[in-house]
Chains A and B, each alone.
Chain A
Amino acid sequence: MRIAVCVKHVPEGPSHLDPSTKRLDRSGEGALNHFDANAVEEALRLKGDSDTEVVVVSLGPQKALDSLRKALAMGADRAVLVSDDAAAGSDLVATSRLLAAALEKLDADVVLFGQQASDADGAVLWAAVAERLGRPVVSQAMELAVDGSSVRVKRQTEFGYDTLEAPLPTVVAVSDAINEPRYPSLKGIMGAKKKQQDVFSLDDLGVDAGEAGEAGSRTTVLALGDPPVRADARKIEDDGNAAQAIVDFLAEKRIV
């Protein structure tokens, strides 16, 4: 069996938006998106001691290899990076297109995603990728089992817990409640460099430059600004009636 895990290399430390490009300043240090570590961990658990292959996939600049290596250090078998200058600034439409192209080549039985990306707070990528791959998708998985030719997922929604089954090949997005990612062992870290790491350009994937990056995107950032000051912020001192004042305030906001 082959499991592909999509991971993202996200900026670390204090984040800044570059005022000229209005995009996240990714020039500093980065790390493996910690939600994606759950997905890598889940893949490794599914693999266990079998000869299932776990491939980690990412779209990003060259230094995204650092995060891919961390996944290799945890125990993934090989890494695929889609990296091309023309891909910078890709939005959901373009990113999902590129990732789907890479995943088509990999032909995995299960494609895993983490809960969200800590930089864009997006929790949407897997559904878009699944649509492009023409595969069933299940998200918010807190328990995942693969048996033979299908997956069984327990997921949490606002209303409770659903148990779903889907035939392979399938796309699953795991929630951060599913597991506690392992620390890479020293041996794992040291062995990671030797594992296969492929870098694909847009050409390698057969994707035209016009379909990637800003050219291939359908959304844009227009302007950046400060968050609004909380309007009508009030501060009062308790003169014995604070409790009532609070209830009145909550009633005003239609919370009680």
Chain B
Amino acid sequence: MSRASNFPPPFSTRDYVVEPTDPPDERIEVGVLIVGAGPSGLACAIRLGQLLEQHPEMAERFGEVPVAVLEKGKQPGSHLLSGAVMNPRALRRLFGEGFRMDDVPSYGEVPGESVYVLTRRTALPIPPPPPMRNHGNWILSLSQLGRFLAERAEEGGAMILPETAAEKLLVSHGRVVGVRTGDKGRNREGGELGNFEAGSDLTAKVTILAEGTQGHLTAVALDRFSLRGEEPQVWELAVKEVWKVAKPLGRVIHTMGWPLRTGKRFREFGGSFIYPMGKDMVTIGLVVGLDYRDASLSVHDLLQELKTHPKIRRILEGGERVEWGAKTIPSGGFHSLPQELHAPGLLLCGDGVGMVNVPRLKGIHYAIESGRLAAEAAFRAMQRGETPASALASYDDAVRDSFIWRDLYEVRNMRQVFGHGFFVGGALASAMTISKGRVEVGKMSAEPDADQPLLVTNRDASYPTPDGKLTFDKLSSVFASGNKTRDDQPNHIRIERRVPPEVAQLWAHMCPAQVYEIGREESDGTVVVELAPSNCVQCGAITAKGGRLTPPEGGSGPEYTAT
């Protein structure tokens, strides 16, 4: 059977490394450039603002625009999506004394939790396994948190530049000197429209990539500076909805089992989460590892199916879906982290490099902490002046000394064991957690998601027909993400267009936004893959499964508000 990786996309990270080309007086110079206004990038900007306030003598070295944060979405929060149940420790460290979680928009502390193993009709409660205990953690919307952090960052003097995609990495004499932003106002064929605006060279003394999952320039940098980790990165796809509900849900719920299949050959690892958002809203999502093998699997449709479970239907009864979104989560864990998190002129943070604790479903506090540590390293480098390379190495040391490293090491093999199927994997996972990682199961290799051999079942036959009230089709969901992407722009997806039918099926089902459709059949048995790129919500699944997502025109994509 085919593998998606046999049909690689026409894409090379080398094409995205360039020298600055704008005449020097047209380049835009800033002190520290941060790519990504997510929790990591904004924490970094906030920390830099704090340091600059404490050290006013450094203002001159940072220049007129000391800190700039690029955001490809319409505004901070537009592309942020998570559950989320967050560990507050990193925010406390970031804001220091006097900080209280009540200052942050949230839905309060986790009131209680349950874990269920589902079958089609039943829900068997099990005591929450140790990694899933959330006492002391807070429920919030990452998109809202992003907007809050953006305001704090701006108060601290950072300049946030939304609707701006970082398309290329500027490298000069082996050093990262900034990024080149993407063009705006090109048509589908790549020609210039009346309001065409070329991208700019944005240069900085230190560039910090906090792009989140499937970070475009992060991948470019990992290749350019040979930083990739010992294991390839792998991802999970999360699809979630926000609902107004009639009855308050008083606890956090996680489920395992149905609608995912437990057999080893399917390799369907994941589960669902249902979190209360105050008294009148709820968020429900399904997370599935992209190392699944069945080409007919659609996480979007599995989520719709999940909602028909009697227990879950009751939670949503009388309610109304108000938002939808999708995003990948890097799940390779410790072994997939890059060899180093820095390069000359460059620092790497957060989900972009895979700082996610998969069994605990936590990554936001690592993102924030890594952003904070990156700010401190960048500041030290600016203090030292012209040898940022060695100064930036201190970032790696700081991360290794932090709870980020400790936590990820503890759960380092969790993800891989589930390759052995749910029951075996579950037992191993519990053993590892209870022993705090001391049970050695031998390092298991992770294969890239796109290397998984495909099989085709008729799993799609049981996806519910959308009723527009409880279950929805993909196009309605794309609408509910606020996506209004301008149609007449170049296609930002790189993909092999002629592939065997099962690969085309894989992509068509995989994509939660219905970007890929199976077109005509060719005489050699391959099919043509048709694309609707303006549906794309930039979840990143395609990059995991054999294609490549590049950033479209700044401002495109979803406009999340409560995800």
Contacts and interface: CB of A to CB of B under 8 A. Distances in A.
Interface in B292-344: 322-323
Contacts of B197: 182-183, 185
A14 B482 contact: yes
A65 to B, nearest CB: 12
Interface in A1-55: 12-14, 28-29, 31
Interface string A177-215: 000111101110110010000000000000000000000
B558 to A, nearest CB: 10
Interface string B470-501: 00000000001010000000000000000000
B483 to A, nearest CB: 11
B321 to A, nearest CB: 11
Given A180-B193, A181-B195, A12 B74 contact: yes
Interface residues of B, number: 25
Given A14-B322, A14-B482, A186 B193 contact: no
A186 B482 contact: no
Given A28-B561, A190-B65, A183 B74 contact: no
B561 A29 contact: yes
Contact of A186 (B74, B164, B559, B561): B164
A178 to B, nearest CB: 12
Interface in B182-214: 184-185, 193-195, 197, 200, 202
B399 interface: no
A187 B28 CA distance: 7
B559 A12 contact: yes
B431 interface: no
A185 B202 CA distance: 12
B389 interface: no
B132 interface: no
A38 to B, nearest CB: 11
A35 B68 CA distance: 29
Contact of B28 (A12, A180, A186): A186
A176 to B, nearest CB: 13
B161 interface: yes
B550 interface: no
A24 to B, nearest CB: 15
B267 to A, nearest CB: 36
Contacts of B28: 186-187, 190
B58 interface: no
A190 B161 contact: yes
A195 to B, nearest CB: 14
B181 interface: yes
B559 A183 contact: no
Contacts of B480: 14
Contacts of A190: 28, 65, 68, 159, 161
A186 B185 contact: no
B195 A186 contact: no
Nearest to A181: B195
A13 B143 CA distance: 13
B536 to A, nearest CB: 18
Given A12-B74, A13-B482, A31-B74, A193 B159 contact: yes
The 8 A-B pairs with the shortest beta carbon distances in the complex, nearest first, are A183-B197, A183-B184, A180-B194, A180-B195, A182-B195, A13-B482, A186-B200, A13-B559
11 contacts: A12-B74, A12-B482, A13-B559, A14-B322, A31-B74, A183-B195, A186-B28, A186-B161, A186-B200, A190-B28, A190-B65
Interface of B: 28, 65, 68, 74-75, 77, 147, 159, 161, 164, 181, 184-185, 193-195, 197, 200, 202, 322-323, 480, 482, 559, 561
Given A14-B482, A180-B195, 14 more contacts: A12-B482, A13-B559, A14-B480, A14-B561, A29-B147, A180-B193, A183-B185, A183-B197, A185-B197, A185-B200, A186-B181, A186-B200, A187-B200, A190-B65
